[in-house]
Every structure is written in structure tokens, then in C-alpha cells.
Amino acid sequence: FDLFGGRLLSIASASFVLLGFLLLQVAVLGAQYGHDGDTSGFLVWALVLVQGGGAMLGLIPMTMMWHLSDMQTLVSSAQVATLRMSPLFIMLTSAFMHWLGVTLSSVIWVWCGFVVVALACLLWLLPTLSEYRAEAGRVLGTALPSKDQHTAWKVVKGILSMLRKPWSLHLLTILTLAAVTTMGSVYEGLLGEWCTMLFGSSAAGERLATIVTALGIIAGVCLSPLLAYVSDNLRYGTTLVHMIAIISVCSSSVTIGLTTWFAQIATAMFTSVSSTVFQILLLRYYTAFAGPDLLGTFSGVTMAVSSPVGLAMQALTYNLASRLPASSLAHLRLPLQATFMSGAICFTVWSSHLLRSGLPKKPVVLEEGSNG
């Protein structure tokens, strides 16, 4: 993203997705005509290409960050909404197949058409890298170095310059990102087993999983733009958004251990709200610290460093679950409560730190001379 810009990134990511769909079509047609033994191997590559291309497409809204500098929180919410819309796309596709009686093979061709149309729209709407950098320089009131001077050493120095200043906040961000990610992963991983233990049937787990998916879509598509508008336009909007997230994540750490349907649905709602707001605030954090030459790199480095921390947290959680009697309710309740409480504590401290210290008025920019 930093080197080639959103427009070229959209071409590459859409090409990956399109190629993935075509390979998926080969696998589906092979299974349909009895050649799945020869074509099933394409399925793995199809999934890798579609998932990878989709992840890259998730960065595209960042291209408009400086063209809509007064609405950067809203742009961040658009990025969150694109990620949350994925389950909706699958649900609509399943309904479409059921209502019209069409095959998956036919639907894949429709998907390919959507990708081509979406790519044409992106090429028309998105600014080039030079336009993106020029607008960022105008908003920040500084001249950005030419693309030829955007070297790896300058990027490293820029990242180190950011990390040196509020190092405690960056460390806390990494820990919070790991804790919140672990909270979501463990919740999704144990949801079915937890509901079966609570309500005595696997159907309960499927029902609650559907509710969780629906609430995640609503939070991402409907709630995130509303909260972003509040944050960008109201005097105390940012504080209000932080408080909503803190109340939600702390409430979920309480309701997750209760054994009623109402409590579990409330947990799903609180989790959807808190995770959505956290993603928006995290994107604003990236933008506030990283200039246009460092935005993609800084966010990628942060996620890469937090990933092993999150994996270690997940391993500890599942290890705790394995040590408790499988027939006891505490077998899942204690690991879930511990995960939710750690996520709530980390997020509350991180959010309070941001509210107290605020975000920098100007991000680190790769300038020539002393700053580069």
C-alpha cells in the first residue's frame, strides 16, 4: 500500500480474487462431473487467493484517508464495514441459490462479474499514488519526499521514530490488540460447545452463532458509520464512542458467564459493539501516528508483532480448558471469563490512556533531512 498506492493494490487484489474464483469454479465443476479427484487440489489455492485478495481489498478505504481528512473516522468505519459485510454476502448468496434453484457454479460466474464491475468502479474512484501523496502533503502542510527516496532505511527510521515517543502506548496497543483478538477467536471457537453445555443441544450453538453473525453485520454496516459520524462531528463524540466501547466490553465479561439465553444474546451484542468500535479506534490510531508513507507499514508491523502474543494467549486459554473436568460447566466458563476479563482490562486501560493523552496532531512523515 505504501509503495504502490490503493489503485494498483486494488488491481492486484481484485486479480487475486478473480483468479481464486476461477480456480474454485474448476474444483466445483470437477466435483459436479465426477472428476473431483483431479480438481480438488485447486480448492486450496482458490481459498488462499480469495482470502488473500480480500484482505488486501480491505485496505482500499485507507486510500481516501487524506481526501476526506475531516472524516477520517468515517473512512475507518468504511474499512470495518467492508470486513463485516462478508458474512452478509454469503447469506445472500445462499438465499439466492435457494430461491432460484441455481447451482454454485452459476453463482461463481456472478461473483466473477461482481469483481470485474467492482474493479472498474475502484479504478474510476480511487486516486493514484501521486494524487494520494499530494493531497496528504497539502493536508499536513509539508512536502513529502519523492517516491524514489522512499527507501527501506527511511521506513525503518520512521517506524523507530514513532515507537520511541509514546513507547508505552504502542506497547499497550499491541497487548490490547492481542487480547481483543484472542477474546473474539476463543469466543467463536468455543461458542458451539459452550451453548451445547448450557442448553443441552447443538442446535442452540447453531442458533447463537447465527445471532452472533447477524449482530456483527449490523454493528459493522449500520452502527460503525453512525459512531464515526458522532466521533467526527460532536464536541465530545470521541469520548462518547470510547465510553460505549468500554461499557460494552466490560459488560460482556460479566454476561458471558451467565447461563440464560438473554445473557448469551447480550454477550453477542456487547462483543459485536466493542469489537467494531475497537477496530475503528485502532485505525484512527494508525492514521494519527503514521503518515501517508508509513500507514500500511505501521499497521502491518503492529499486527505482525501482536499476532504471536495473541497466539500465546489462545494457547494459555485452551490449556486452562483442558485442565478442567470436561463434565463441569467451569470447563468452559472459566477460560471464557478469563479471556473476556483480560480483553476488558486491556481495552479499558488502552482507551483511558488515549482519552487522557490524546492522539498526536501530526503523524510522522518521511521527510528529507533530519526527519527522514
pLDDT value, residue 347: 92
pLDDT tens for 60-110 read 777 777 777 777 777 777 777 777 777 777 777 788 777 877 787 888 888
Average pLDDT over residues 356-366: 70
Cα–Cα dist 202/266, whole Å: 20
How far, in whole angstroms, is CA 303 from its chain's centroid? 10
pLDDT at 10 over 50: yes
Q: Is the dihedral of CA 176, 190, 312, 77 positive or negative?
A: negative
**51 within 8 A of 12, measured Cβ to Cβ:** no
pLDDT at 271 over 80: yes
Which triple of cell numbers denotes residue 32?
A: 459436479
pLDDT value, residue 363: 67
Q: What is the largest CA-CA distance in the chain?
A: 67
pLDDT value, residue 155: 61
Share of the chain above pLDDT 70, in %: 90
pLDDT at 17 over 80: yes
pLDDT tens for 123-180 read 888 888 778 877 777 877 776 666 655 555 566 666 666 666 677 788 888 899 999 9
Highest mean predicted confidence (pLDDT) among 29-43, 76-90, 95-109, 266-280? 266-280
pLDDT at 369 over 70: no
Cα–Cα dist 258/177, whole Å: 26
Burial group, residue 371, by CB count within 10 angstroms (0-12, 13-18, 19+):
middle
Share of the chain above pLDDT 90, in %: 9
- Taking all residues of the chain, what is their mean pLDDT, rounded to a whole number? 80
> How many C-beta atoms lie closer than 10 Å to residue 226's C-beta?
12
Bigger pLDDT: 155 or 48? 48
Bigger pLDDT: 119 or 368? 119
Q: Note the residue count of the chain.
A: 372
Residue with cell 524514489: 148
Cα–Cα dist 288/303, whole Å: 16
**27 within 8 A of 39, measured Cβ to Cβ:** yes
pLDDT at 187 over 60: yes
pLDDT value, residue 342: 92
**273 within 8 A of 251, measured Cβ to Cβ:** no
